Amino acid sequence: MAETIASGDDGAAALHEARPAHGRVSRRRNATRARLLVAAHDILAEVGVDAAKIKDITDRADVGFGTFYNYFETKDQVAREVLDCIIHDCGIRNAVATAHLARSDPAAVMPTSIGLVIREAASTPIWSWWARRPDLLVDRIRDGFAGFAMEDMRQGIKAGFLDLSPEDVDQAWALACWMIAGGIHDIVVGDRPVESAGFVGEAIVRAWGYDRDTITRVAAVTPPPYGPANIDWSFVLRA
């Protein structure tokens, strides 16, 4: 539907006044969505997805019960969006933690980043529910880390240490996500020690064509410090 704008100074003034009002509505909506995500994050970390109740989330966020459905259709959806925000934060933290490697040893960036994510997931309670459902976790990892991983992979191909055809990058990343989810699952359920996180990263880059000498070198890299979480609750994954 076309918008009719009054002519002359009065029309310009009316348009000028309308814009801030629209901005205020958008900011309020974004703030409410963020409060719901923060509340959901805290409750899911405390009791898990299955035991969490929507009313608990809205009470914690200090909004009406019906408000939840203005932003999310189901509890599972808010859980997915919480994880999307967490994964996005991990991607940023990976980039910061491995910045020195990007300059000194670019081949070590990907296996190191993978190990950091697995260790973080294995030590953070909110990942526990997802870890036991790797089929669901794979989708969030694949889409959430794709922007970070694809760029690293393309740079690896360009530099010559990643032996993949450019047209195979998407498939290689999709397969790696199953290995990452499997590594998280096995540590969370106690089948493997947390130290196996490094092995998963090495196994993935081995499948991607790293040569023996490169694998030996990157396997010796000490995991860098991982900065504290600083989750952007306004983030929306655009898959």
pLDDT level of residue 238 (50, 70, 90 thresholds): confident
What are the C-alpha distances in Å from 215 to residues 89, 114, 146, 160, 200? 27, 14, 23, 14, 12
Q: What is the pLDDT of residues 86-117, one digit of tens each?
A: 999 999 999 999 999 999 999 999 999 999 99
pLDDT tens across 209-218, in order? Answer: 999 999 999 9
Report pLDDT digits (tens) over 61-77. 999 999 999 999 999 99
The three-point CA angle 75-80-82 to 5° equals: 95
Are 107 and 28 spatial neighbours (Cβ–Cβ below 8 Å)? no
pLDDT of residue 23: 85
Residue 4: per-residue pLDDT = 37
Nearby residues of 202 by Cβ (< 8 Å), 6 or more positions away: 111, 215, 218, 219
pLDDT tens digits for 5-50? 344 444 444 434 444 556 888 899 999 999 999 999 999 999 989 9
CB-based contact 98:109 (threshold 8 Å) = yes
CB 156 within 8 A of CB 207: no
Return the DSSP state at 124.
-
Q: Which CATH architecture has domain 80-219?
A: Orthogonal Bundle (1.10)
110-125 burial, b at 16+ Cβ within 10 Å, e below that, comes to bbbbbbbbbbbbbeee
pTM of the model: 0.87
Give the domain ranges of the chain: 8-70, 80-219
Handedness of CA 150, 152, 154, 157 (dihedral sign): negative
Helix axes 196-207, 169-188, angle to 10 degrees: 160
Structural fold of domain 8-70: Arc Repressor Mutant, subunit A (1.10.10)
Number of neighbouring beta carbons within 10 Å of residue 11:
12
